[in-house]
Amino acid sequence: MSVPLPLGLMAFGGFAIGAGMRLLDPLLPMIAVGFGTTVAGAAILIAAFALPYGAGQIATGPLGDRLGKVRVASFALIAYGLVSMASALAQGLTDLTIMRALAGLFAGAVIPLMMAHIGDSVPYEDRQAAIGRFLTGMVFAQMLAGPMSGVLGENFGWRASFLAAGGLAVGAGGLMAWKLLRGAPPPVPSGAGMFSGFGKLLRARAGRKLLMLAGLNGALLFGGAFPFVASFLIERFGLSAAEAGLVMAGFGAGAFLYTRIAKRLVRRFGERGLLGIGGAALMGLLLLISVAWAWWVVLVAQLCIGLAFFMFHGVLQARATEALPEARGTAVSAFAMALFLGQTVGTLVFAGVIAWGDYRVAFALAGVGVGGLAWWARKAPSQL
């Protein structure tokens, strides 16, 4: 069974979204200085993107099931790119926060609907490997977005990073729309009500557990640890924005390794094994960052975190595509909504921890938390 939309083109769209999501990491200190605030204050930009990204899923998932997943994703990708380019015109933190919120709203439709499209087209036994290939685009964004954003920011100002990321997204969305017009099959809407899938998912114990895991994962990692590593490197070890971005690219290198060996990992360890190994490794590596005595320690940890994260998170993603086969767009969007609502809460909480205590405390808390999360996820995998 083949994917009607080429995985390479889908990966390009994923790269465009991933680049826009990660470009802020090395720019937060620069934006904070430019707008007269602190890194903790500028962290509102992360929450402003994540909250609409998650909340908007309540509409984008059902819309994808009804109007066509690729159609909705293509339109959203173009709109996301245009808003990202407009972000370069922001005159203050409030302006930029509003623009990031709009960008998050449109971005939220792309990755979940593309994953649901894969779920419609690829058998479950091959799905995690197919999702891994699709995520190659996101992974390259992890590797390149930080360094490129840092270099552009240092040489041309942070606004140049937004212009570049936005233009990339418009191009990717345009290619997807062009491919769609050249013969993608029309959507086959479900006969159920537009929002009925959410209720069905929440009524199932397995569905509730999957969404809780996604939310806690978002709070601890997407909101709690990952966004602050670059700022930690800049403020504690004196790295430039470009240098911090290069260290952050280590995550992408580890994640890229996962995309190449995902199928073998699933066959060797099974989903339960991947949850346990990935979660335990994440806990240990975040604790290592919390006691890092040099920047290169963080680099080594980042290389390993990329692989460990996708070993853990990849299982949850694959299961989300099978949680509601008759309305995959709704199911995967619900998963993404929980993930990014969790990120919003996590960003605000951990920004407070950093302002009150220290980066190291935040990384240690995230590490212990994700260890407990992995134990819970692995405890009864058949109920997910």
39 has pLDDT over 90? no
104 has pLDDT over 50? yes
Within the chain, residue ranges assigned H as helices are: 7-22, 28-34, 39-42, 44-55, 57-67, 69-86, 93-107, 110-121, 124-134, 136-156, 158-181, 196-203, 205-217, 229-237, 241-290, 295-320, 328-356, 359-379
174 has pLDDT over 60? yes
pLDDT category at 87 given cuts 50, 70, 90 is very high
- For 236, residues 6+ apart whose C-beta sits below 8 A from its C-beta are 359
What percent of the chain is predicted at pLDDT more than 70?
A: 90
pLDDT recorded at residue 2: 40
CA distance 130 to 72: 21
pLDDT recorded at residue 194: 53
pLDDT category at 218 given cuts 50, 70, 90 is confident
pLDDT recorded at residue 382: 46
7 has pLDDT over 90? no
Q: Among the ranges 138-142, 232-236, 280-284, which has the highest mean pLDDT value?
A: 280-284
pLDDT category at 99 given cuts 50, 70, 90 is very high
Angle at 217 (CA atoms; ends 293, 111), nearest 5 degrees: 110
pLDDT recorded at residue 84: 94
Q: Where in the chain are the domains?
A: 7-183+195-383
What percent of the chain is predicted at pLDDT more than 90?
A: 18
Question: Closest Cα to residue 103, out of 19, 29, 223?
Answer: 19
CA distance 342 to 223: 7
**Among 75-84, 209-218, 372-381, which is the least confidently predicted range?**
372-381
* DSSP string over 198-256: HHHHHHSHHHHHHHHHHHHHIIIIITTTGGGHHHHHHHHH---HHHHHHHHHHHHHHHH
Residue 340 main-chain phi, psi, to 5 deg: -85, -25
223 has pLDDT over 70? yes
pTM: 0.72
Amino acid in the structure at residue 276: G
Greater pLDDT, 301 or 322: 301
pLDDT tens column, 61-77? 778 877 888 888 999 99
**CATH topology for the 7-183+195-383 domain:** Growth Hormone; Chain: A; (1.20.1250)
264 to 6, 129, 267, 270: CA distances (angstroms): 23, 9, 5, 10
For the chain, what is the mean pLDDT?
Answer: 82
Greater pLDDT, 55 or 80: 80
